[in-house]
Amino acid sequence: MTSIRSIKGTQDILPGQSQRWQALETTIRNIMDTYGYSEIRTPAFERTELFSRGVGTETDIVSKEMYSWTDQGGENLTLKPELTAPVVRSFIQHNLGGQSPMNKLYYIDALFRRERPQKGRYRQFHQFGIEAFGSEHPEIDAEVIALAMTVFNNIGLEGLTLKLNSIGSPECRSDYRNALRDFLKPHFSDLSETSQKRFENNPLRILDTKVPHEIEILKDAPQISDSWTAEDKTHFEEVCSFLDEMGIQYSIEPNLVRGLDYYTRTTFEITSTALGAQNAICGGGRYDGLVEMLGGKPTPGIGFAAGMERILLALGNVETNSKTTQVYIVGLGDAVRPTVVKLAEDLRHNNIRTQLDVLRRSMKAQMRDANKSSATIAVIIGDKELKSGLAEIKDLKTGDQEPVKIKGLVDHINSLTL
Ligand code: ATP
Ligand code: MG
């Protein structure tokens, strides 16, 4: 029979790799804790409507990347392609804003997007991220950015660039949209089909283009900062000054924008030179209009999402300290089995990492396995040891061996530094 293979664009995380994931997750959790963020976990699937409203029908995610289906009860459901909309949904549903004026939430989760699989781009992938609800003030913008940079610096990512911009308030954006259209009108016939489509309904997204001659055209385009209100300007300057104060470097990118109306002010992206074409590690920004748009009380919010596969790719295959076996129990013969099974259990309850041969192998094969397992000591119990009540303890580094009472083994091993 042919064997069944995994779906294209999905990955198994095997032992060896899973240790790198755990190390990354532990760092993230510790740093979230230090900054006062609490974990939120939301379901794997939601109503499709949450994403069409919360992410926007014009985005790549909603227009072509969602895994959606109608279930047996006729409900339109979607595997979550991003986390901001589900977290906002949950924030509203459980009235978190009513319980506390400030809510700082984080997540580590798997997401699903039907993309063209390639290095750094998968159909199931993982993100960690945060959403901070309640403050419109620039100190939270700076904190959110600082947190992301702290995680990346802490895990040893190098070659990072923090790109920063402000897209101002919704009022300034309609001015800017007009200014941008006026500027692009004479170039309309030179624009790609995609950009021509965006021209009417969402010209800001044209700034996102990867087409070289469009980038060239856009060099002289008006900048969104020309349309900022006085408050937008102060807000951005304060974000920058707080980052300066914390010693965080950034580069201001006037074309770093988001197309949707509920995005406001700060936007940022973090890229790594250690990656190829898919070099974005983290994207974030402020979305002061989103909670209200999804049916909650008007609440300012800001967050980011970072791609974990890309982080691990950028880190390269650095060795992580994997935990190894400390004690290997070599049991020989039918009679000793209850004793060794119980001994292994007792050692493990004392937090000693213990391996027990369960293949009923020969003494020689078990000793070979013990040496390979990187255990520090082997405990050998055969019929003779069972009868005398004394197990042989072998130091696998020096080869020294000594008899120890089977009854006192756990205490004895506990007293050793393994
Ligand atoms: P891109 O422009 O690379 O498609 P995006 O704008 O779709 O990114 P976001 O939705 O902002 O990305 O997600 C935040 C981060 O999640 C990205 O910066 C990236 O690191 C990661 N990411 C996004 N899509 C994928 C994917 N299909 N596979 C792996 N990681 C991804
Ligand atoms: Mg994408």
Euclidean distance between CA atoms 206 and 155, whole angstroms: 35
Ligand 1 close to Cβ of residue 258 (< 6 A): no
Which atom of ligand 1 sits closest to the CA of residue 311?
Answer: 20
Euclidean distance between CA atoms 324 and 138, whole angstroms: 46
Ligand 1 close to Cβ of residue 87 (< 6 A): no
Ligand 1 close to Cβ of residue 282 (< 6 A): yes
How many Å lie between the centroid of ligand 1 and the Cα of residue 115? Answer: 10
- Closest by CA to 147, choosing from 272, 21, 268, 318, is 268
Written as six digits, the tokens of 321 are 């300290």
pLDDT of residue 259: 67
Written as six digits, the tokens of 382 are 């055969």
Specify the fold of 326-415: Rossmann fold (3.40.50)
- Closest by CA to 148, choosing from 246, 56, 54, is 246
How many Å lie between the centroid of ligand 2 and the Cα of residue 255? Answer: 17
Whether the model clears a pTM of 0.85, i.e. scores above it, the answer is: yes
Sheet holding 45-47, edge to edge: 45-47, 76-79, 68-70
Euclidean distance between CA atoms 231 and 252, whole angstroms: 18
pLDDT of residue 257: 87
pLDDT of residue 321: 58
Query: What count of residues does the chain have?
Result: 418
- Closest by CA to 341, choosing from 353, 326, 357, is 357
The answer to whether 291 touches 195, Cβ cutoff 8 Å, is no
Mapped onto helix, strand or coil, the DSSP state of residue 401 is strand
How many Å lie between the centroid of ligand 2 and the Cα of residue 147? Answer: 23
pLDDT, one tens digit per residue, over 256-284 is 987 677 889 999 999 999 888 888 999 99
Burial class (CB within 10 angstroms; exposed 0-12, middle 13-18, buried 19+) of 302: buried
Residue ranges in the chain modelled with pLDDT below 70: 259, 318-323
Distances (CA, A) of 188 to 178, 197, 201, 216, 254: 14, 10, 14, 14, 21
Residue from 278, 279, 282, 302 whose mutation best tests the ligand 1 pocket (most atoms within 8 A of CB): 278
Q: Taking the domains of the chain in order of start, what are their residue ranges?
A: 15-169+246-315, 171-228, 326-415
Output DSSP code: residue 2. P
**The dihedral sign for the CA sequence 112, 115, 120, 123:** positive
Residue in this structure with the two tokens 């590690």, named with its chain if needed:
281
User: Kind of pairing, strands 390-395 and 401-405?
Assistant: antiparallel
- Closest by CA to 228, choosing from 286, 285, 172, is 172
**CATH value of 15-169+246-315 in 3.30.930.10, 3.40.309.10, 3.40.50.700, 2.60.130.10:** 3.30.930.10
> Which residue's CA is the nearest one to ligand 1's atom 24?
121
